[in-house]
């Protein structure tokens, strides 16, 4: 029964993008949409091979992934720590909530000039804009997870003499793990959006830079290849995070 369910899940997962591409192909071939601006997906394969062989597409993908993963790690670890503290201790929560609400509402691309001023125009600024963008998103989700833990668990730990550090590790962190991974999943998608936007404006390499340059020179097929690869990157990163979640929380994987 479980094997049949997993086979059905895999089939449906693959079917969704295939159906979308098929509809696109039919609409373009029948000229329901303009094939000049919406070329049939079947015609993009030659562009993909050219980009890999002549334009270093693999290098663009690699550098974008490194920027995403670097910023994700730098933003997530302190974000989880702050979220745990905000959930456990009300003075920390009251102190940081106005800052978190204000910064979270600011469009992250608007912060890019300030990040460049602080960190320069090199790779550090591109990694840090991702970290800054996801920091409070992770922190707020972690805080929500801690606040949803039954108060009795915390009381039992404190009655047994647990220190604040032990509260972090034995109560807050395990209890908030589902919310933490939800925040990380949202942050991963957000990181991809931010880095592509950043590469539009302040990069000379990366998948976002390739998309923007293709648009400016009206290389429509190349632009669509970049967009499709961006979607595949997001899908792959989400699958990787799901795998990590299943390893960390096997009881949820079984459910």
**16 or 126, greater pLDDT:** 126
The dihedral built from the CA positions of residue 122, 70, 183 and 173, taken in this order, carries a sign that is negative
Note whether 82 and 172 are within 8 A (CB): no
pLDDT exceeds 80 at position 227: yes
Q: Which two tokens stand for residue 15?
A: 């079917």
Query: Percentage of residues in the chain with pLDDT exceeding 90?
Result: 35
pTM: 0.85
Q: Residue 163: what pLDDT?
A: 76
Extents of the domains making up the chain: 44-254
Q: Of 81, 89, 78, 77, which is closest to residue 147 (Cα–Cα)?
A: 89
Q: Residue 88: what pLDDT?
A: 83
Q: Residue 253: what pLDDT?
A: 54
Using the structure block, give the residue that is written with the tokens 């730098």. 74
Q: Of 23, 66, 20, which is closest to residue 191 (Cα–Cα)?
A: 66
Q: Distance of alpha carbon 209 from its chain centroid, rounded? A: 18
Q: Residue 102: what pLDDT?
A: 84
The fold for domain 44-254 equals MetI-like fold (1.10.3720)
User: To the nearest whole number, what is the mean pLDDT of the chain?
Assistant: 86
pLDDT digits (tens, 9 = 90+) for 167-181: 777 787 888 889 999
Q: Measured between alpha carbons, how far is 227 from 197 in angstroms, rounded to an integer?
A: 12
């Amino acid at each position: 029964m479980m094997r049949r369910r997993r086979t059905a899940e895999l089939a449906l997962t693959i079917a969704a993008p295939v159906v979308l591409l098929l509809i696109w192909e039919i609409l373009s071939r029948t000229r329901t949409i303009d094939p000049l601006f919406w070329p049939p997906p079947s015609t993009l394969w030659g562009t993909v091979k050219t980009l890999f062989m002549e334009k270093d597409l693999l290098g663009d993908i690699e550098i974008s992934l490194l920027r995403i993963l670097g910023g994700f790690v730098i933003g997530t670890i302190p974000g989880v720590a702050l979220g745990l503290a905000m959930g456990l201790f009300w003075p920390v929560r009251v102190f940081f909530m106005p800052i978190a609400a204000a910064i979270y509402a600011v469009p992250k691309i608007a912060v890019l000039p300030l990040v460049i001023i602080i960190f320069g125009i090199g790779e550090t600024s591109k990694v840090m804009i991702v970290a800054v963008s996801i920091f409070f998103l992770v922190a707020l989700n972690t805080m929500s997870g801690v606040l949803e833990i039954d108060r009795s668990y915390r009381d039992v730990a404190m009655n047994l003499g647990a220190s604040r550090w032990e509260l972090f590790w034995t109560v807050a962190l395990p209890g908030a793990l589902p919310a933490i991974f939800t925040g990380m999943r949202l942050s991963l998608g957000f990181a991809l959006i931010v880095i592509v936007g950043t590469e539009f404006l302040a990069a000379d390499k990366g998948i976002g830079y390739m998309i923007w340059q293709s648009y400016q020179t009206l290389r429509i097929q190349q632009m669509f290849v970049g967009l499709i690869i961006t979607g595949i990157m997001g899908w792959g990163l989400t699958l990787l995070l799901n795998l990590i979640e299943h390893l960390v929380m096997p009881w949820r994987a079984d459910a």
